[in-house]
Amino acid sequence: MNTLAQYHSLSGKVIFITGGASGIGRAMVESFTKQNAKVAFIDIDDDAAQALINNLPQANLWYRQVDVTDSHALQQSLVDACAALGSVNVLVNNVANDRRQPSEDVTVQDWDQCLQINLNPAFFASQVAMSFMQREGAGSIINFSSINAIMGQPQMAGYVTAKAGLIGMTKALARDYGEFGIRVNAILPGWVATDRQLASWFTEAEQVKWMEAMALKKLVSPEDVANLAMFLAADESSMITGQGIKIDGGRL
Ligand code: NAD
């Protein structure tokens, strides 16, 4: 059973999450809502988003269907959420697509598309969010990388490259904007037991093998990851910036 952390400093803050309709994103939307934060999220999957919205209190909730590879629509959604909710105090760059493809088959178009979804949106969303955060003299940006950025992963060269790039971007932006009170950190999940992951390529035997390689011998839940995101968003982590933090149950 997961315990939901309580961070009073998040009450009333505006949290903007990309890809909030399912998986870890949905767990974050639900968890930040329980902190009395104002939550804005975008997603390409309108059905999943509507299903989530129907189960949440409607006050202080903002949603729009956006494809993050459309940089203009992405940046405009931040501007509109800021106008609707009053600010953007925390940005969570969560969207990814971890499609597998043998490296020898990757075309120039495949490579560009991979970076367009897994790397570029985090920069262009951050650009807009940081302009609001600079005005406030404070803010927190959380980029979703992966332990694959460090360990590698077969048939995922583009994804692994993008996830490693996010760690570099995290450090670069932390240096550029630290003096304005803006913190930028990355979360590096290991395998997380989202509905999609449980239903896809991980068989039960593979799950057991994976757990055996972990110090804690149990799967990481989306709520475990949401707890880390809330900590990095909250004032309690006010001296942490430029870091990539693994949450993998101790793959070590
Ligand atoms: P997911 O694929 O289950 O959910 C991603 C969300 O993004 C979905 O709601 C999807 O509809 C949305 N989305 C996809 N493409 C989009 C687009 N073009 N525009 C807007 N929205 C779009 O992801 P997840 O497993 O919950 O992972 C969340 C983050 O954590 C990702 O960055 C992922 O790389 C990282 N991560 C996850 C795991 C894991 O095991 N789940 C492991 C390591 C890293």
* 14 within 8 A of 82, measured Cβ to Cβ: yes
Catalytic residue among 7, 63, 159, 177: 159
Residue in 91, 95, 207 to alter for ligand 1 test, most ligand atoms within 8 A of Cβ? 95
**Mean pLDDT lowest among 12-26, 167-181, 208-222:** 208-222
- Beta bridge partners of residue 188, listed in sequence order: 246
Distance CA 230, CA 250 (A): 20
Tokens of 188: 């590096």
pLDDT, tens only, 124-165: 999 999 999 999 999 999 999 999 999 999 999 999 999 999
Ligand 1 pocket check for 97: Cβ under 6 Å: yes
In this prediction, what percent of the chain has a pLDDT beyond 70?
A: 99
Confidence of residue 209 (pLDDT cuts 50, 70, 90): confident
* 234 within 8 A of 10, measured Cβ to Cβ: yes
DSSP conformational letter for 88: -
How many angstroms does the Cα of residue 48 sit away from the middle of ligand 1? 13
How many angstroms does the Cα of residue 239 sit away from the middle of ligand 1? 28
Confidence of residue 198 (pLDDT cuts 50, 70, 90): confident
Between 154 and 1, name the one with better pLDDT.
154
How many angstroms does the Cα of residue 113 sit away from the middle of ligand 1? 15
Ligand 1 pocket check for 158: Cβ under 6 Å: no
Can you tell me the ipTM of this complex? 0.99
User: Could you give the angle at the alpha carbon of 169 between the alpha carbons of 105 and 246, nearest 5°?
Assistant: 85
**pLDDT recorded at residue 4:** 81
| Closest ligand 1 atom, residue 148 Cα | 43
Residue 189's nearest CA partner among 116, 251, 235, 139 is 251
Which strands, in side-by-side order, build the sheet including 139-144?
61-65, 38-43, 14-18, 90-93, 139-144, 182-189, 244-247
Does residue 177 have an active-site annotation? no
pTM (global) more than 0.90? yes
Residue in 18, 22, 24 to alter for ligand 1 test, most ligand atoms within 8 A of Cβ? 24
**pLDDT recorded at residue 2:** 67
Average pLDDT across the chain, whole number? 96
Q: Amino acid identity of 143?
A: N
How crowded is residue 138: how many other Cβ atoms within 10 Å of its Cβ?
Answer: 16
Q: What is the mean pLDDT of residues 58-80?
A: 97
How many angstroms does the Cα of residue 97 sit away from the middle of ligand 1? 6
Ligand 1 pocket check for 96: Cβ under 6 Å: yes
Ligand 1 pocket check for 144: Cβ under 6 Å: yes
Q: State yes or no: pLDDT of 1 exceeds 70.
A: no
Distance CA 4, CA 20 (A): 18
| Closest ligand 1 atom, residue 117 Cα | 18
Q: What is the mean pLDDT of residues 95-107?
A: 97
**pLDDT recorded at residue 252:** 78
